[in-house]
Each structure stands twice: as structure tokens, then as C-alpha cells.
Amino acid sequence: MGAVRANDPTDKNSFDFVQHLEERLGRPTKPAYGLAYTITTAAIGAGITPDGAITRYTVTGGMDWTLTRLADQTRMLGGHIDAFTSYSATGSTVAGQTAQSDAYLRLMRLLGDDLVLRLIAASASFAP
């Protein structure tokens, strides 16, 4: 808790990811580890009406990450995580934008939760 400092966010997705990571691991008070990450996302039409209108989107996300011990810059862990979610594009423009925003937030939380599980599972194998 409080030992992992993620790279500063550069966009809304990375902000949501770091915020969730800090909710799960605590804000870094005495960081012993640095977390570098790269997040990619894509929205793909998943539900299409006979006239070609998209009614549902699947949002996929991937994250490459590396955990480094700050004391000596040793790479401790790293890997790639994939996740997906979806949202409905039916209804008003505002409803569609809200559903889209919520889907991306859920995706960042999924990526964050997967990363936290990996960090907890591996944490016994190394010391700061």
C-alpha cells in the first residue's frame, strides 16, 4: 500500500486508470516502485441494424506495463493486459455520450483491477 507510483496521466483514460489504481493501492506516500504504462483503446460496432445503424459498441483496451524498483531501476514485473466492455448507442445523443464515457471508465477500472491482482500475486517474490 502506498508503494507504487504510476506515471502521470496524460489523458482522461490514464487519469481514470491512475485514480482507480490509487483507490486500490493507496496514494504513493513512500514510493518504492514506479509503474510505466501505455493504454490503447478501440471502439468497434457490435450491434448493427438491417439499415446499417450501429446500436451497440464494444470497447477494447490493452495496456503494456512495467514495474520498476526506484532504488536501482531494476525491472521487477511487466506484461500486457487486455479487457473489454460495451455500451448501447441507442437513445438521445446525450445518453449515448454518457454511455460511452461510462464504458471507458469501466474499461480503465477493469485494467486497473487486473493489474492490482497481478501485483498482489507477485509481491511476495520481491522486497523494496
Residue 127 has what pLDDT? Answer: 61
State residue 110 phi and psi, 5-degree precision: -60, -45
pLDDT tens digits along 40-81? 999 999 988 898 889 999 999 999 999 999 999 999 999 999
**Structural domains for the chain:** 4-125 (3.30.160.150)
The total of other beta-carbon atoms located within 10 Å of residue 77's CB is 19
pLDDT band at 124 (very low <50, low <70, confident <90, very high): confident
State residue 64 phi and psi, 5-degree precision: -95, 135
| E strand or H helix that includes residue 99 | helix 93-122
| Dihedral, CA of residue 8, residue 124, residue 24 and residue 101, to nearest 10 | 60
pLDDT tens digits along 10-49? 999 999 999 999 999 999 999 999 999 999 999 999 988 8
Residue 41 has what pLDDT? Answer: 98
Residue 91 has what pLDDT? Answer: 80
Contact 74, 34 (CB under 8 A): no
